[in-house]
Amino acid sequence: MGKMKCANQLFSFQKRDTSSRLPKMLETGIQIFVPLCPDYVTGGIANGVSSLMVSALDAAHEIQSSYPRTSFLFLIADTEEDIFEGFDRQPIEISRNKLTRELEKLSITGKVYLFSESFPNWHIRQYEMEKKIRDALATTPDLDRFLSQNQERRRGMYSRQYGECSMYQTRILQIRHYAQYLVLQDIMREQNQWVLMNYQTENLRTVTKYHPFLPERRKLELIVY
């Protein structure tokens, strides 16, 4: 007799165990939120379907094969327009259209939107969350330590994407992106959406950890590819 797959080992691709609650949720036909970075290239944004997006599509295809009532909301993060002068939206829109065609080819039930289309007050909430993080750092040493441990690696990544970054600029961007993950969770809770699928990144700490500067709330279910 073959070995039965445990509830927390549902998928071949997963990088982190899932909760025992997730299978029942998927069986009911839940929508899964899938935030995606744009198709970044050195010094800018391209207009293709990146390797990260392909990985997300492969994971979604496997999930839907096992749980056919699930659907997906892919959200491409055009969230950096406020820090780029003359931000060109067209490459991201082209990328969104290409990703939509890939969904159709794979018969994945889902839609592809940009963050700006879905959350018109996004940056207001992001800035408010950034302030909460900055105000809390002095009394939240584990969060400060987490940011410091990842700062040098992030500096290299940000420098490739945005141009050479100092350590000071890197910390600003770290707080910014940590805040973005926290805001997305708040929005999901407000919409009664409880399953987040994401690539493996240290910022998933926002999902798995309790933050003393925020109200304690129900955690999202997490699928990591």
List the domains of the chain with CATH numbers: 25-120+181-224 (3.40.50.620)
pLDDT reading at 157 higher than 50:
yes
> Residue 5: is its pLDDT beyond 80?
no
Q: Which two tokens stand for residue 132?
A: 């909460």
pLDDT of 124 > 80? The answer is: yes
Query: pLDDT digit string (tens) for 168-197?
Result: 999 999 999 999 999 999 999 999 999 999
Mean pLDDT of 161-169: 92
The pLDDT assigned to 3 comes to 40
Q: Which two tokens stand for residue 105?
A: 């080819």
What is the model's pLDDT at position 87?
A: 81
Instruction: Decide which of 120 and 101 is more confident.
Output: 101
Higher-scoring residue by pLDDT: 67, 85: 67
* C-alpha distance from residue 47 to each of 38, 64, 73, 167, 204 (Å): 8, 27, 20, 29, 26
Cβ neighbors of 131 (< 8 A, separation 6 or more) are: none
Instruction: Give residue 41's pLDDT.
Output: 86
State mean pLDDT over 198-225.
96
Counting residues of the chain whose pLDDT is more than 90, the rounded percentage is: 86
pLDDT band at 44 (very low <50, low <70, confident <90, very high): confident
Average pLDDT, rounded, for the chain: 94
Are the CB atoms for 132 and 214 separated by under 8 Å?
yes
pTM of the entire structure?
A: 0.93
Nearest to residue 11, comparing CAs of 139, 195, 182, 140? 195
Which whole-number Å values give the CA distances from 94 to 65, 105, 210, in the listed order?
A: 28, 17, 37
Mean pLDDT in residue range 115-133: 96
Residue 147 clears pLDDT 50, i.e. is over it: yes
pLDDT at residue 159 greater than cutoff 80: yes
- Give the closest residue to 122 by CA, choosing from 84, 56, 176: 176
pLDDT computed for residue 195 by the predictor: 98
Task: Using the predicted structure, report yes or no on whether residue 14 has a pLDDT greater than 70.
Answer: yes
pLDDT of 1 reads 40
Q: Any idea which of 75-89, 116-130, 172-186 has the lowest mean pLDDT?
A: 75-89
Which amino acid type is present at position 127? Y
User: What average pLDDT does this structure show over 130-150?
Assistant: 97
pLDDT band at 88 (very low <50, low <70, confident <90, very high): confident
- Cα 102 to Cα 212: distance, rounded to the nearest angstrom: 41
Residue 198 has pLDDT above 60, yes or no: yes
